Amino acid sequence: MHCGNSFYLWCKMTEKTTDLIISKLLDAANIEHYAESGPIEEINKAMVSKRGTGKKGFPEYLAISGDFVIVIEDKAKIEDQAKYLNDNETLLMDTSSVTKYAENGALHYALSIIQNTNFKKVIAFGCSGTDDKRIVIRPIFVSPTGYKILPKVKDFTQFSIKNIERYYNEVVCGNESIERVELKTILSRAKSLHEDLRNYGQLGDKEKPLVVSAILLALEEKDFSTENLTGDEVKTDGQKIFDAMSAHMERVKVEPQVKKQRVIDQFRLIINRPSLSEYNEKLGKSPLRYFAEYLHSNILTAISSNSPEDVLGRFYGEFIRYSGGDGQTLGVVLTPKHITELFTDLAEIKPTDKVLDPCCGTGGFLIAAMHRMLTLAKEEDKENIKRNNLHGIELRDDMFSIATTNMILRGDGKSNLICADFLKQDSDEMHDKGFTVGLMNPPYSQGKTKNTAHLRELKFICHLLDCVGDGARCVVIVPQSTMVGKTKEDKIDKQYILDNHTLEGVITLNTDTFYGVGTNPVIAVFTAHQPHPKEKLVKFVDFKDDGYEVFAHVGLMPTNRAKERKKLLLDCWFQGKAAPNSFIVRSTIEADDEWLHSFYYFNEEIPSEADFEKTMADYLTFEFNMITHGRGYLFDRKEVVNG
């Protein structure tokens, strides 16, 4: 494009361009809006000109969303977004500022509505920019008591009728979301229980979740009551809990017998640790009774309900964290709930699917899969799902016992879990079992030497793809380095995948997904036993901005943007929704490529007005410096001679 044409396009960027962008964003949020005046005459009459003439004023847009009035002012130039006092919290309201700046003008109209109508909750928006990818949108909440400058937003989704009350409660009023309150409760109880298990039970990090699991299973047995835990020295409280736990496993028909015995053996520590059953003067009861009463009152209901939250997994993670570890020292990286749920969406899990998690840990993926399948299933199919359609493999005895407990408590009596080394399972035999979905978070960073090369993440991926049925959907979460594949062995594995299976796409995740662990993860999606078509366009998504942020005391939590960001991801993934290359790239691939968005991304964005001005200023500064330093010949100009 010639410079003259570029300059012409740049000059054509006007405030009307901004108006159009804002109107489209309002439409996308299903917010009915009106240019300059709306259907409510009381509001129209309240508008006063920004110039102080006393005449009627006309904002760019007006809208009503629930109990809130929305008023919007636009400016083409981003530098005309707002003018503040030095405190950056007080907008200047003189005529010049109100007329020239978007936020100042929007606040002017909002105050007019507050002062001259019966509407007492207004959200004013100052908007600027002519590039729809870089538009600036700042909300300001205005009420009779004053106004509050709020964080910038990317669109108006949070202000639709169905979302605006939540935005008001959480962002304007500062109230915590339901999810954050629930998680705080879980973490608080985990911390409290952790301290009690340590102080009254003298239990180690790996022992604590086993004691919790044994007690929870005992509490499920109908004839068991905490009242029976009397501190008896002949039949101890530990023996009573152990007997009730064993009876419940027998009642729900945990199969096979060898697996049941393996789990029971893990729980024998409640018998073999006498101090747990002895009367404690400070507690006025035995520690086991105290733990059982606490769990019955605070935890059991949350686990037994059909919830996607892996509460036991949360406890396990918290026990590790409060003990000064991060999970990596034990080879444990537990997958957050929003990721396990995203897996079930990407795999499009149906009630008829047969799901395999070959590195199941505490059972988070299987719990999420069960939750989705039961939600979609007919009532008559639910029992079959719980008994036959969820399968897991776990190498570690303690994790296996926790996962088994997790599944039993959620009604999966058969609990199709085995304690075994997944990599040693025969792929042909596994293939014959007909798994239609594979979900996996394999152990990380275990294949760093020649002796452990067989434990690299790509080896787990290859084996999973070989083990599931033809056409099965597989979703895995691994470190970014896995998809880079720098070593010779990695490239061989990646070529093997393309020769035998299909890569559907890779999603780069928020770097805080495994908060505190220090892993930058990606999700990779495959179709098994279908060789990768050479011309296939594979999806590569930059989903680092997923709407989740780290909050003090609770860790990673969703913001108001999380749902809209997930919807954008799934719309692009399944429906081919158009989005900028900075979010999604579709490309053919080779085994030697780095299977990451950053490898295939190219910048297709047209420079904004601000970019143009900055580039010109940088160039002119460079040219001036060269000329004044005697290098004007670079620009076919005479040198400037000093003196």
Q: In sequence order, which ranges of 14-66 are alpha helices (DSSP H)? A: 15-28, 41-46
363: left (phi over 0), alpha (psi -120 to 50) or beta: left
Please give the single-letter amino acid code of residue 481: S
Give the three-state DSSP class for 256: coil
pLDDT of amino acid 452: 62
Q: Are 409 and 307 in contact (CB under 8 A)?
A: no
440: part of which helix (H) or strand (E)?
strand 437-440
Q: Is the pLDDT of residue 374 over 70?
A: yes
What number is the average pLDDT over the span 63-69?
92
pLDDT of amino acid 1: 43
Q: Are 341 and 223 in contact (CB under 8 A)?
A: no
Signed CA dihedral, 319, 320, 323, 324: sign only = negative
Q: Predicted confidence band at 628 (pLDDT cuts at 50, 70, 90)?
A: confident
pLDDT of amino acid 54: 67
Task: Tell me how far apart the alpha carbons of residues 73 and 91 are, in angstroms, rounded to a whole number.
Answer: 14
Residues 6+ away with beta carbon under 8 Å from 168: 68, 121, 141
- Report which listed range, 39-43, 162-166, 353-357, is most confident: 353-357
Give the three-state DSSP class for 298: helix
Q: Are 438 and 467 in contact (CB under 8 A)?
A: yes
Using a pLDDT cut of 70, give the percent of the chain over it: 83
Burial tier of 533 (Cβ tally within 10 Å: 0-12, 13-18, 19+): exposed
Q: Are 577 and 517 in contact (CB under 8 A)?
A: no
Please give the single-letter amino acid code of residue 450: K
Query: Between 288 and 177, whose confidence is greater?
Result: 288
34: part of which helix (H) or strand (E)?
strand 33-35
b/e burial code for range 605-643 (CB count within 10 A of at least 16 → b): eeebbeebeeeeeeeeeeeeebbeeeebeeeeeeeeeee
pLDDT of amino acid 327: 44
Closest-CA residue to 33 (of 74, 72, 67): 72
Give the three-state DSSP class for 601: coil
CA distances (Å), origin 192, targets 65, 67, 184, 636:
43, 41, 12, 76
Q: Predicted confidence band at 541 (pLDDT cuts at 50, 70, 90)?
A: very high
Q: In sequence order, which ranges of 202-268 are alpha helices (DSSP H)? A: 207-220, 237-251, 257-266
Task: Tell me how far apart the alpha carbons of residues 593 and 601 are, in angstroms, rounded to a whole number.
Answer: 13
Task: Tell me how far apart the alpha carbons of residues 567 and 571 are, in angstroms, rounded to a whole number.
Answer: 6
The C-alpha angle 363, 368, 371, rounded to 5 degrees, equals 120
Q: Which of 6-15, 49-58, 556-565, 606-615 has the lowest mean pLDDT?
A: 6-15
What number is the average pLDDT over the span 299-322?
58
Residues found in the chain = 643
Closest-CA residue to 48 (of 113, 117, 104, 100): 113
147 strand-pairing partners: 142
Task: Tell me how far apart the alpha carbons of residues 508 and 596 are, in angstroms, rounded to a whole number.
Answer: 7
Please give the single-letter amino acid code of residue 502: T
Peptide bond into 256 cis (omega under 30): yes
Q: Are 71 and 109 in contact (CB under 8 A)?
A: yes
Query: Between 308 and 24, whose confidence is greater?
Result: 24
Using one digit for the tens of pLDDT, what is the confidence trace for 407-442? 887 766 455 888 899 999 999 999 999 999 999 999
Task: Tell me how far apart the alpha carbons of residues 426 and 442 are, in angstroms, rounded to a whole number.
Answer: 18
pLDDT of amino acid 326: 39
Closest-CA residue to 189 (of 318, 327, 332): 318
What number is the average pLDDT over the span 261-281?
89
604: left (phi over 0), alpha (psi -120 to 50) or beta: alpha
b/e burial code for range 405-444 (CB count within 10 A of at least 16 → b): bbbbbbbbbbbbbbbeebbebeeeebbeeebbbbbbbbbb
What number is the average pLDDT over the span 222-233?
89
Residue 82: CA count within 13 A, CB half-sphere: 22
Q: Are 318 and 422 in contact (CB under 8 A)?
A: no
Q: Are 70 and 64 in contact (CB under 8 A)?
A: yes
- Is the pTM higher than 0.85? The answer reads no
Using a pLDDT cut of 90, give the percent of the chain over it: 42
Q: Where are the beta strands (DSSP E) in 155-209?
A: none
Q: Which of 218-222, 513-517, 530-534 has the lowest mean pLDDT?
A: 513-517
418 strand-pairing partners: 393
Q: How far is CA 334 from the centre of its chain?
A: 14
> DSSP secondary structure string, 492-509?
HHHHHHHHHSEEEEEEEE
Task: Tell me how far apart the alpha carbons of residues 463 and 451 are, in angstroms, rounded to a whole number.
Answer: 18
pLDDT of amino acid 453: 63
Give the three-state DSSP class for 417: strand
The mean pLDDT value of the chain amounts to 84
Closest-CA residue to 498 (of 527, 476, 521, 475): 527
Strand pairing class (355-357; 437-440): parallel
What are phi and psi for residue 285, nearest 5 degrees? -170, 175
Q: Is the pLDDT of residue 189 over 60?
A: yes
What number is the average pLDDT over the span 457-481?
96
Burial tier of 89 (Cβ tally within 10 Å: 0-12, 13-18, 19+): exposed
Which DSSP category does 431 fall into?
A: H
